[in-house]
Amino acid sequence: MREYQSQLFSDHMYELLHKKAVSLDLGFFENPDYHNIFFRALQDSPYRPLKIVNNLFYIVQYLLAVIILSVLLISLHWSIAIALLAATVPGGLLKIYYANKQYNWQKENTQKERKAYYFSRILTGDVFAKELRLFGLEKYFSEHFTSLRTDLRTGKLKIVAQKTLFESFAQILSALAIFITYGIVAYKSVYGTLTTGDLVMYFMAMQRGTSYFKELLNSFSSLYEDNLYISNLNTFLGLKNKRTVTAAAEPFPEPITSGIILNNVSFRYPGSTREALRNITMHIEPDTTIALVGDNGAGKTTLVKLLCHLYEADTGEILIDDTNINNIADTAIKSHISVLFQDYVLYHLTVRENIGFGNIDAMHRDERIQQAAIKAGIDDLVASLKKGYETILGKLFDNSEELSIGEWQKLAMARAFFKNAPVIILDEPTSALDPQAEHEVFKQFGEITKGKTSIIVSHRFSTVKMADYIYVLEKETITEHGTHDSLMQLNGKYARMFKLHASNYI
């Protein structure tokens, strides 16, 4: 029953952690302090609360036994009870003191532990395996891991050594106190104050009393220690989002009639002193395709995150028709905007799941899954797999198939198409595709985006050229905008980038 309770409780705590983690703003995941808090909560929360419950039961049990035995010993002589207190209290106080010291040490060294864990992942994970071998990095990361673990081990052992030394003195004090009580009982027995039966009874009472009182103090010190670590869980569960999450507000405009409008939008990432976007003003007409171009770090992907309401603008406003995006329910935004991010996720699950995650409620609809795969140009590949859409991808699980990076990108594109949302955002949608595959996808791009408001972020000008309107971002702000032809006539940043790109194919 205890094992059953333990497993059930552990699963419940993981459920709490997962629920809280997915509810937090994206900004938390870009803050090292958050990762420290989460790491500490994850380490202890699955079992510490259960230990508290068990310790409370033990405390009640031992407390009753100690009270009964104390009454018996006081009836012999009040000094015996005091001697037993002297024998057990110092050890209990030491446990509480060093529990606090170890907790503070662990809190201060969380980042070191996380870094050691990260180096371990590099040495053992599949993502790093190729570069680790090709660049001969095994020794470098192994030495850094060993160095960190040595520092951590030395710090822990230093505390344990101090604790052991003081506990040894406490044990000596305990032994002296017990011998004194034995001396008192022996003295009374020799001079006939106690019978042989009394001697045995008091001897057993002292032995049991010392043991129970020690266990009682141990339970209290464990309760104190567990409560310290539970504060890690409470800190994590108590994190508050800064972003406004609207549970029930204005509906998402459908259909979009005026378009998506940004007025003087500026934004900087949490903890950063540098603006990621500055005074962005743009108007995205409904049922049109616009492209965002610019150098790396110009703010294109950040703008996409703001449009998805993963962040809120620091200043300015984003309107969908006449409705501020902050006043639209998050669930409505999620259901009306589909995104293919540049750093798309590779789910080591079935093809169906990889596509169906775009609209999980429609995952069972085979025809729609296949249509999305056809639009992304991956249906033929799926048909060649042994189990088709039920094939597990990646190399983490048995009976799976691995894809090339370009094929993974097509799959992620299919996921974005499967959602069939009125607004579709493609962030570097063809960066991993060969020219033929890119051509096949964009041959039917007009059909894919028909009736939708589309935003493309790309460095490939063959893709950008297809857009109805183009915005050029430079140093976190918009410096040029217009059609492809008008921007070429302007002969500014866009024209230079286009000519430079074209020169690679001459």
Q: Which residues share a beta bridge with 339?
A: 425
Query: What local confidence, expressed as pLDDT, does residue 7 receive?
Result: 80
How do residues 448-462 score in pLDDT, each as one tens digit?
778 889 998 887 777
The reply to whether 244 falls in a domain is: no
Domain identity same for 271 and 406: yes
Band (376; pLDDT cuts 50, 70, 90)? confident
Q: How many Cα atoms are found within 13 Å in the side-chain-facing hemisphere of 235?
A: 18
Tokens 């974005």 belong to which residue? 416
Q: Say whether both 53 and 126 belong to one domain.
A: yes
Band (264; pLDDT cuts 50, 70, 90): very high
Residue 39 has a pLDDT of 85
Q: Are 212 and 69 in contact (CB under 8 A)?
A: yes
Strands 337-340 and 323-324: unpaired
Q: Are residues 213 and 310 in the same domain?
A: no
CATH code of the domain containing 429: 3.40.50.300
Check whether residue 7 and residue 113 sit in a common domain.
yes
- Least Cα distance to 296 among 336, 331, 342, 345 occurs for 342
Average pLDDT over residues 372-391: 91
Q: What does the pLDDT look like over 103-151, one tens digit per residue?
A: 889 888 988 998 999 999 899 887 788 888 888 888 999 999 999 999 9
Range of the domain at 50: 2-237
The domain tally of the chain equals 2
DSSP calls for 261-323: EEEEEEE--TT-SS-SEEEEEEEE-TT-EEEEEESTTSSHHHHHHHHTTSS--SEEEEEETTE
Same domain, 87 and 184: yes
Last residue of a domain, one of 206, 237, 268: 237
Do both 68 and 206 map to the same domain?
A: yes
Q: Give domain status of residue 251, yes or no.
A: no
Contact call for residues 263 and 23 (beta carbons, < 8 A): no
What is the average pLDDT across 290-301?
88
Residue 472: its H or E element: strand 469-474
pLDDT band at 246 (very low <50, low <70, confident <90, very high): low
Cα separation of 488 and 482, whole Å?
9
Read off the pLDDT of residues 75-98 as tens digits, 9 standing for 90 and up. Answer: 766 767 777 777 777 877 888 888
- 353 domain-assigned: yes
Note whether 303 and 400 are same-domain residues. yes
Please tell me whether residues 377 and 458 are part of one structural domain: yes
**Judging by beta carbons within 10 Å of its beta carbon (0-12, 13-18, 19+), is residue 44 exposed, middle or buried?**
buried
Helices 196-237 and 48-76 sit at what angle, rounded to 10 degrees? 150
Cis omega (within 30 of 0) for bond into 286: no
Which token pair is 483? 């059609």
Q: Is the pLDDT of residue 354 over 90?
A: yes
Closest by Cα among 297, 261, 233 to 21: 233
pLDDT at 48 over 70: yes
- pLDDT of 397 reads 87
pTM of the model: 0.74
Answer yes or no: do 230 and 265 share one domain. no
In a domain, 83, yes or no: yes
Q: Are residues 232 and 266 in the same domain?
A: no
Same domain, 164 and 291: no
Q: What separation in angstroms does the CA of 251 have from each of 256, 258, 259, 317, 328?
A: 12, 15, 15, 17, 6
Are 146 and 190 contained in the same domain? yes
User: What is the band of 187 on the pLDDT scale with cuts at 50, 70, 90?
Assistant: confident
